[in-house]
Amino acid sequence: MDIEIYRCYCLSLKGAEEKMPFDNTTLVFSVKGKMFSSTNIETFDLINVKCDPEEAILLREKYEDVIPGYYMNKKHWNSISTNGKITDSQIKEWIKNSYDLVVLGLPKKSQNELQME
């Protein structure tokens, strides 16, 4: 996956926004102000995604290119290598799962607003 495919996919999700709130190299994608993915735009070597804690462990055990979230809460976040060993479709599925987890954690009002968009 290259950074433009990643960026376009993240922005295709309903209500998704991109920002650089931490520094000039960390691109963050969020929905209703809550982050669902991030990456370093200079290296694009890892993508961070939120994950159910039990599933996070299973994915780390199954894929050597999935590690505990780099600079993230390692219980809830995984980092995925972008070296090409994991397919784009698999990475997109994990990004969508991350997005869905974040949306489920939003207040009902925010969830309803997203459905209306």
Domain count, the chain: 1
Which CATH number do you get for residue 36? 3.90.1150.30
Asked if residue 53 is part of any domain, the answer here is yes
Radius of gyration of the chain (CA): 14
In a domain? residue 116: no
Residue 117 belongs to a domain: no
Query: Strands 26-31, 66-68: parallel, antiparallel or unpaired by DSSP?
Result: unpaired
Q: What is the pLDDT along the chain (117 residues), one digit of tens a residue?
A: 999 999 999 999 999 999 999 999 999 999 999 999 999 999 999 999 999 999 999 999 999 999 999 888 889 999 999 999 999 999 999 999 999 999 999 999 999 999 887
